[in-house]
Amino acid sequence: MTLNFPNASRSFDERRNLVRFWGYDSALEVCFFIEVGALHKLLPQTQRMDAEWMGADCLDAFDSARERILEAACKVYSRRRPGPYLLGAEDF
């Protein structure tokens, strides 16, 4: 089956400091998380704002790098480890 992302939904998990998003493999929903550090790596200009970052900033950064994040999510998912799947800076 092929992983796809028909739903643009994403949310910020303040407790864990992650952005959560979902993909689908056929009818199976697949949960992904991306660390704030990975967003900083994708968008280096955000590193200066680290102490000030809020959930909305993380979601904006996610939206700005969405295509690269989804490509990395597909690679992580293809390893077929049990989910949920966490994307870190090392995945970019």
Distances (CA, A) of 42 to 5, 6, 36: 20, 22, 10
Q: Are 85 and 69 in contact (CB under 8 A)?
A: no
Could you report the per-residue pLDDT of 37-87, keeping only the tens digit for each? 899 888 877 655 555 567 788 898 999 999 999 999 999 999 877 778 999
What is the per-residue pLDDT for 5? Answer: 95
Q: pLDDT value at position 47? A: 59
Residue 14 has pLDDT above 90, yes or no: no
Q: What is the pLDDT of residue 15?
A: 87
